[in-house]
Structure 1
């Protein structure tokens, strides 16, 4: 079934756009435009961060970044989300594009469930097995709202900054034209190496394992 055969995705609209200076702990700073929306299908308060000049980019660079309070705010080293967020902001600002900050904590299971899964990981389960042991999906994310946001922003073609093939597959299924999928850097620590290996081996993330020497 092609996208044209499916029920059309309802349109969303830009609600508010405001300039915000971003400042990171390592000294990097950039001015961004934060965009909110009306009409997102899941009702969540997802946010688009406009960086650089997407209108002047041959193909804008876009990252779908799922909220990770533990890493994005508190600097947890159990995953690579915080460093990926920092890297994405700079790379997108240099080229022009958008970071979609999606309220999908714990790959869609929520903050409390994610911390429950952490407790199981401390007993030896990997990140996917821990979710399953809780009776939750390994990855419960749906990117329909992201497709709505991109359409509302006027993005008709993009390069996707992601190691996750499922993000590209879902967006293409939703009719979003992706020219290329661009991997992020490798952000390995002693604390997240098992987590990164699970992403590579279980869901085929494009992370260079050769760089992850233990």
Structure 2
């Protein structure tokens, strides 16, 4: 396995605290790249009395020996690499499944009591930025799908870089993980940067009818594993609210 420090950006832990949320209590650690871009890692405490992740006042690189409760032996910890989505995560947009995926990931990692949710900034609109994403939405309103809209604007279909995620996982000592994702590209990217992904764990969420075309495009044109998903309105064409969609294991 490659040494993650040889192929990913330098990332420093710059703070930490306890963070109670609707989906569980986490130790939250903040990280900063040399570019100034900041990211978060949400880690469930190993026990209620666990100390929060210590802040790093001098902002020195984190060593594996400093890792919090995410590091342990046994089956590979459950990890979610979540790309920033202001419209879905914060504004509650129904056009995508990002907010639902974030919340379900937090719930499942908290329930597992080990692992992490890595929240990556700079991934808005699959890496094209917030303003460009809104422009792409306008093109989708005119009939293009999410792939066609990005290409029409002169952007790649997916411009995200997961090297910083690998760096953060390495800092936390999470070299071997079970990855909570429907995107096989994330599995490939993390493995390329030295993270041993032992299995892909499907992330099935309930979506609004407004997200149906978006999910179909991700499945049919981007290779995401989305053969089934639950829909808020079961009578919507294309939505598949089946019992088997609740499966959370396997390919």
TM-score normalised over the length of structure 2: 0.76
Once the two structures are TM-superposed, the CA of residue 34 in structure 1 deviates from its matched residue by 1.1
Instruction: Kindly indicate whether residue 141 of structure 2 is the aligned counterpart of residue 122 of structure 1.
Output: yes
* Residue 109 of structure 1: aligned partner: 128
Once the two structures are TM-superposed, the CA of residue 55 in structure 1 deviates from its matched residue by 3.4
**Is the 1:186–1:207 contact (alpha carbons within 8 Å) kept by the matching residues of 2?**
no
**Is the 2:88–2:94 contact (alpha carbons within 8 Å) kept by the matching residues of 1?**
yes
Aligned residues: 206
For structure 1, the 5+ residue unaligned runs are: 24-28
Which entry has the higher C-alpha Rg, 1 or 2? 2
Choose the corresponding residue for 2:31, options 31, 34, 37. Answer: 37
Of 139-148 and 184-193, more deviation after overlay is shown by 184-193
**Is the 2:40–2:119 contact (alpha carbons within 8 Å) kept by the matching residues of 1?**
yes
- Give the distance between the partners of 2:103 and 2:230, measured in 1 at CA: 20
* Residue 20 of structure 2: aligned partner: 21
* Residue 55 of structure 1: aligned partner: 71
Output the aligned Cα RMSD.
2.1
- Give the distance between the partners of 1:63 and 1:155, measured in 2 at CA: 12
Choose the corresponding residue for 2:87, options 70, 76, 79. Answer: 70
* Residue 134 of structure 1: aligned partner: 153
Runs of 4+ in 1 over 4 A off after TM superposition: 210-213
Residue 46 of structure 1: SS of its match in structure 2? Answer: strand
Alignment deviations for residues 86-105 of structure 1 (CA, whole Å, 9 cap, x no partner): 10001011112111111111
Distance 1:76 1:133, change over 3 A: same
* Residue 100 of structure 1: aligned partner: 118
**Is the 1:14–1:153 contact (alpha carbons within 8 Å) kept by the matching residues of 2?**
no
Once the two structures are TM-superposed, the CA of residue 140 in structure 1 deviates from its matched residue by 0.3
* Residue 26 of structure 1: aligned partner: none
**Is the 1:168–1:181 contact (alpha carbons within 8 Å) kept by the matching residues of 2?**
yes
Of 6-15 and 64-73, more deviation after overlay is shown by 6-15
